[in-house]
Chains A and B, each alone.
Chain A
Amino acid sequence: MADNTIEIDNAVKRFAEHVAVRDLSLRVPRGSVYGLLGPNGAGKTTTIRMILNIIAPDSGSIRILGRPANDPKITDQIGYLPEERGLYRKMQVRRVLRFLAELKGMNATDADSRIDEWLVKFDLKTPEKDWGLSKIDELSRGMQQKVQFIGTLLHDPELVILDEPFSGLDPINAQALKDTIVELKQRGKTIIFSTHLMDNAERICDSVCIIARGEKVLDGAIGEIKRSHGTRNVALGLDGDPTPDVSAVLSDSTLVDRVDDSNRYFEIEMAKGADPQDLLRRVVATGAMVNRFEIVLPSLHQIFLEKVGATGIEMGMTGHG
C-alpha cells in the first residue's frame, strides 16, 4: 500500500473563462489530518472535486490510495462533506442516510445498524425521541448538519474530505467535529479539510497546503513550515492601551518589518538584522507595561499573509476566525 493517500502530479484544470488549477502537485500522507488552505476562489473546491472525480483534470494525474481517481472502487472509500450543505428536505432522516450509504455500495441491512449507532452517538436518537423517523425539514439546522456528517462517515471511509466544515457550526457542534476528526485520525483514517480559518488549521492539521490563484504557494508538515519561516518573530503583550510612543517604536522600519496588531497583543516580524533585545529595550523605555515578550515561531496566519499577500486578502481572505 502506498504511504500517501493522495498523490497529485501536475494537475491542470481550465474552465472557459479562467484557469482554476495550474500545475498543482501535492502529497497527502496516510493517516494525517491535512489542511487545504487558501482564499476564496483559490481553487480549493476545484481541487477537491478533482480528487472526488466529479470533474477530471485537463492534464496531470491524481492517484488515491494507490489507484487512479477515476477507478470506480475508489469512490466507496471516500466520504465527502460539501461546503454548502443540504439534504432532501421532505425525506425521512433514516431513509436519507440509507440512500447515501447505498450510493457508497453498502447494503441496507448493514447501513441500518450503523445508522442507529451514529444517531445515538450524535444525540439524534434518545429514549424520548428518535429523530431518525422525522423528516429532514423538521430538524434544526444544527441537527441537519449532524445528519449530513453522519452521511459522510456512515460507510467508514478511508479518506474523509470536508469542505469548509467549520463554517456555520455552533461552538458545540464545532467541538464535536474536532473530536470526531481526532478520533478518525486515531483510527488511521486520512482527513482533508479545506478552510480559510488559519487558527483552526494550525490547531488540527498535521500538514497543510496553501494555494492561491490556482497555484500551490507552499506545503508540508506544519512544524517544518513554521521552522523554515524563521525565528524572527516576537510575541509582545501589553497591559493597557498602547501609547503613541509604543506605536512609534513598532513602526520603525529599521527594527520591525511587519506587525499584526491585535490591540494589546502584537505579533511582530523583526526587520533583517534587527535585534529583538533592542525592541524590548525601546518598548520598556516608553514606559509601557510589558506582560509578555517571547521569541516565537510565526503563526500559520502570518506565513499565509506573507506568502499570499495582499491579493489573497482582496480575494476574500478573512484571517482569524
Chain B
Amino acid sequence: MPSFPYGKAAFSFVIMALISGLFVTFHRVESRKTTLTMWTFAETHYAAYRKAIPSFEAAHPGVTVKVEHVNGQAVTSRLQAAFHANLNVPDVVEVEISSAGSFFRGPLEHVGFLDLTDRVKQSGLWDKMIQARFAPYMTHGRIFGLPHDVHPVMLACRRDLLEKAGVDMNRIETWDDFIKIGRKVTIPGKQYLLELSDSGTDNIEVMLFQRGGGYFDPQGKCSFDNEIAVQTMLFYVPLVAGKDKIGSTLGANQILTQAVEQGYMLCLFAPDWRTKGLEQDIPRMSGNMALMPLPALKPGGLRTSTWGGTMLGITKKSEHPDLAWELAQHLYLDKPQLAERFRDTNILPCLREAWNQAAFQEPRPYWSNQKLGAMYAELAPQVPFQYSSPYIVTAKAKFGEALVSCVQYYNANGESGFEEYARKRLKQSANEVRNLSARNPYQ
C-alpha cells in the first residue's frame, strides 16, 4: 500500500481535521430543560435578579433561568447585530434608556422585541405603573419594553459643609434661591455649589426635562430647539461659564468620590440609582450627606426631573414568550422582592403599590436619617415624560455640541448677543438631526 506522500505528520493532521470536523458537524447537545436566558447590563440588577431567580424556578419546575451580566454597550451592539442577522438572542433583555430608541429604527414589524402593548393593558399594568416611564420604550403607539424604574431626581448635598456655610437646605425652594447661595459659597477652582458639566448633556438634560422639554416630542419629532430648550440653555450656560459660574465637574467614579470628599462640589443631581453609588463609593461621608428635592423654576413648580432608566424587553425570537412574560412580572412586580431590592439598590420601582412597604419608609443613616424611599416616592408621580426616537443618541450628541458652543460663546462674550446665538446654535443642531432622520425611509 503506497504511503501518504507528505509524511505521517501531515497525514495525522488531515485525519484529525476530518474527525473533529465531522464531530462538530453532527454532534448535537440535546437540552431536556427549558432555559430562559436574560441579559442585564447593571451589576446591581444582576445581583438582585440572582436572588430572585430561585423562587421563580421553584414555581416553574423544569425551567432554568440563566441571568448574564453583559456590558451596556455590548448589549446594544450585540443585540442589534443579532436582530439584524436573525441569530439566537436571549429571551429577556434589559436595555438602557438612551439606547432603547435605536432598536426602533426599521419597520415596525422588524423591531426585534415583542409588542407588549396588549399584555400591559390587559394585565392592568398601564394604570398600576407610572405611565410616563413607558414613553421612552414606545414607538408608533406600541409598547416594546416594561419600565424597570422611575428615577426621580433630587439633589444630594454635603449637609455638613452647607450648614457650616450657614445654608439652610430647607429654605431653598427655587433655582433663584439656590443660585444666590451658589454665588456665596463658590470659590473658583476650589469649590462649587453644584456638579454641572460644561460639555456633557447629563446635567442640562435634567433641567430640560424639569421644564417639560426634551429631545423629541410625543410624535418623535426633534424638538430641542423649541422655546423650552432655548430657555434651558440660557439658564444653564451662565451656571457653568463666565465669571459667576457656580457649577463644575471633574469626572466620574473615583474622581467624583474625591471631589465630593474634598468638598470640591457641595451638591449633585441624584436620581435614586445614584444614591446607592454614593453610599458604596464614598462611605466616609455617611451622616454628612442629605437629599433635597430639586429647586423649582418658580414657587410651587415641579421639584423633580428624571435621569436614566431601564426597560425589559422580550425578544421576538424567544421560544417561550409567555414564560418570559411571567419572568418579567416576577422580577418587576413581586412586592416583597421589590422591597428587598430597594434596600439593595435604592431604585424606586415603577409599581406604585410597592411603595407602601416598610422598606420605603426606613430612615437611612447615610442620608442624615432621611426617609430616602418616601422622599423619592413622593416625587415619583410628577416625573416628566421623555420621548425617544431612533435618533436619540445623535440628538444627545448634537445637543451637547450646541451646549459646548454656547459655553465657548458665553466665556468669550458674556451676555452680549448670547440669546440670539443660543437660538441659532440650537436650531442648527436640531436641523442636523432632522436632516439625518429625514433620510430614514422607515418612519
- Say whether A associates with B: no
